[in-house]
């Protein structure tokens, strides 16, 4: 069981919690801070996200003119890796109340981002996520928009494609794997419920029969659920969610009841700790995720992965490349957003300039490919990887570039 697997956390370097860059204090006359809030416990990959941002800042020189760029990394999760609403609020408030804060990178989980957004929006701070994919964060309903964007100004964006892309990729992946009937559950989180709704919509329009299962929780009797699923005879089951324990229990009990059912999950499960826990389940596990294997990125992406490997003696968590790009585009936005003297401009002016520059990002050459940020805060990237699992790692089967017609259908 995933709960019983010991997770060894690698201590963060001292530089991760302090300044990035090697410039001495007499070379700079101001410090600007980028906060990184991520799950640093439970094998969720937050440590690598923070390290990726650190490397991005270093690669940018660690400073802009006479202003030093400093990173502050904060944990937002409880020991099991699930985000803690209390810690998310604490982190966002700390950044909002720090008059050196220029930008905030986080959270990994969409539900955590939903908590942090209004706090950072009130402060006018650019808020960029490398992992939160829920559509409502960038395309909220009017009521949600008033809650998430209390100032009425858009301050949140992301470098990872949203779940309209992922839902389309899941449907196409299943079609390529000859799935005709799929049983779908979610974990009740912002990410899971949104992904489920979008997948069911696109699947219904493409002749995949969807059996709507329940929301699963820690109280779910997975044995009885698996028996029910087996009797309904689907040839696939989808776990829409990011709760790793629930995802493992769902997959494991289904596999025990009927090993012919293919097990699908989204990028919420595409974490090394979860993948290595699967054992013989991995032969029947299919995952969509936006990252690509090493060797498939632009030169800057491969350089990041090489730097990480050389520095820490192991491979980076695959999703951390989005953390690297989040750090890189934020530093670039700070640089492009400066209109006067960066050492004397009021922090509110610098925050505004940085935010405006981020939303003006156009055809940016990045490790992920060329992309722009639209007015909602979404990246224009539209690809997802379709993966199998082998030896506890993702193995790319194909890259799915979701057609614009599918994306338009899902946004209507």
Lowest-confidence pick of 143-147, 270-274, 333-337? 270-274
Return the bridge partners of 215, or none. 186
Confirm if 47 and 8 have CB atoms less than 8 A apart: no
Task: Cite the beta strand spans of 23-65 per DSSP E.
Answer: 30-38, 63-64
- pLDDT band of residue 358 (cuts 50, 70, 90) is very high
CA distance 340 to 360: 18
Instruction: Give the model's pLDDT for residue 410.
Output: 83
- Tokens coding 153: 């100004």
> Which pTM value belongs to this model?
0.90
| pLDDT at 19 exceeding the cut of 80 | no
Which runs of E-coded beta strand occur in 166-227? 181-186, 209-215
Q: Mention the CATH class of domain 2-161+295-359.
A: alpha beta
What token pair was written down for 371? Answer: 């992309």
Mean pLDDT of all residues in 120-149:
96
Q: What is the pLDDT of residue 403?
A: 85
CA distance 129 to 112: 11
- pLDDT for 406 beyond 90: no
Q: pLDDT tens for residues 227-286?
A: 999 999 999 999 999 999 999 999 999 999 999 999 999 999 999 889 999 999 999 999
Of 137, 93, 135, nearest to 113 by C-alpha is: 137
The answer to whether 183 touches 229, Cβ cutoff 8 Å, is: yes
Tell me the pairing of strands 285-289 and 383-390.
antiparallel
Are 170 and 196 in contact, with CB atoms under 8 Å apart?
Answer: no
CA distances from 235 to 209, 232, 344, 365, 374 (A): 10, 10, 63, 41, 38
Residue with the bigger pLDDT between 298 and 196: it is 196
State the average pLDDT over residues 208-220. 96
List pLDDT tens digits, range 71-96: 999 999 999 889 999 999 999 999 99
- pLDDT, residue 120, reads 98
- Over 50: is that where the pLDDT of 21 sits? no
Tell me the domain boundaries of the chain. 2-161+295-359, 163-289+383-411
Helices (H) and strands (E) in the chain, counts: 13, 13
> What pLDDT score does 405 carry?
84
Residue with the larger pLDDT of the pair 405 and 186: 186
pLDDT category, 26, cuts 50, 70, 90?
low
CB 349 within 8 A of CB 339: yes
pLDDT higher than 70, residue 8: no
pLDDT at res. 305: 94
Q: Do domains 2-161+295-359 and 163-289+383-411 have the same CATH topology?
A: yes
Nearest alpha carbon to residue 247 among 189, 205, 293: 189
The CATH fold assigned to 163-289+383-411 is Rossmann fold (3.40.50)
Question: What's residue 10's pLDDT?
Answer: 34
Helix runs in 85-149, H state only:
85-96, 110-123, 142-148
State how far Cα 101 lies from the chain centre: 22
- The pLDDT-based confidence of 204 (bands split at 50, 70, 90) is confident
The confidence score (pLDDT) of residue 22 equals 41
The pLDDT mean for the chain works out to 91
Q: In this model, does residue 114 exceed pLDDT 50?
A: yes
Average pLDDT over residues 209-231: 96
Q: Answer whether residue 112 shows pLDDT above 50.
A: yes
Q: How far apart are CA 156 and CA 137, in angstroms?
A: 8
């Amino acid at each position: 069981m995933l709960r019983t697997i010991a997770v060894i956390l690698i201590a963060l370097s001292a530089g991760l919690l302090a300044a990035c860059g090697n410039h001495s204090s007499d070379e700079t006359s101001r410090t600007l801070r980028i906060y990184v809030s991520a799950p640093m416990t439970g094998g969720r990959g937050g440590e690598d996200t923070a390290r990726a941002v650190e490397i991005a800042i270093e690669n940018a020189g660690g400073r802009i003119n006479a202003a030093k760029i400093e990173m502050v990394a904060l944990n937002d999760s409880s020991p099991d890796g699930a985000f803690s609403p209390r810690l998310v609020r604490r982190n966002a408030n700390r950044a909002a109340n720090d008059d050196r804060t220029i930008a905030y990178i986080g959270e990994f989980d969409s539900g955590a981002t939903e908590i942090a957004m209004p706090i950072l929006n009130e402060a006018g701070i650019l808020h960029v996520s490398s992992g939160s994919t829920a559509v409502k964060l960038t395309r909220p309903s009017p009521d949600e928009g008033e809650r998430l964007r209390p100032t009425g100004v858009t301050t949140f964006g992301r470098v990872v494609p949203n779940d309209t892309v992922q839902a389309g990729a899941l449907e196409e992946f299943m079609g390529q794997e000859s799935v005709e009937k799929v049983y779908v559950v979610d974990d009740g989180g912002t990410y899971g419920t949104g992904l489920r709704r979008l997948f069911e919509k696109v699947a219904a329009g493409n002749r995949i029969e969807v059996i709507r299962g329940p929301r699963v929780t820690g109280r779910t009797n997975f044995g009885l659920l698996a028996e029910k699923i087996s009797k309904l005879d689907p040839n696939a089951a989808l776990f829409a969610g990011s709760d790793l324990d629930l995802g493992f229990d769902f997959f494991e009990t289904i596999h025990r009841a009927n090993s012919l059912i293919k097990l699908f999950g989204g990028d919420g499960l595409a974490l090394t700790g979860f993948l290595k826990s699967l054992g013989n389940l991995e032969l029947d596990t299919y995952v969509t995720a936006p990252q690509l294997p090493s060797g498939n990125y632009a030169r800057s992406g491969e350089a990041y992965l090489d730097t990480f490997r050389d520095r820490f003696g192991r491979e980076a968590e695959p999703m951390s490349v989005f953390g690297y790009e989040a750090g890189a585009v934020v530093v670039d936005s700070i640089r492009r957003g400066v209109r006067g003297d960066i050492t004397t401009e009021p922090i509110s002016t610098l925050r505004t300039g940085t935010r405006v520059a981020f939303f003006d990002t156009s055809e940016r050459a990045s490790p992920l490919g060329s992309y722009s940020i639209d007015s909602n805060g979404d990246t224009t990237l539209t690809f997802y990887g379709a993966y199998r699992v082998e030896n506890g790692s993702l193995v790319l089967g194909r890259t799915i570039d979701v057609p614009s017609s599918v994306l338009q259908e899902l946004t209507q």
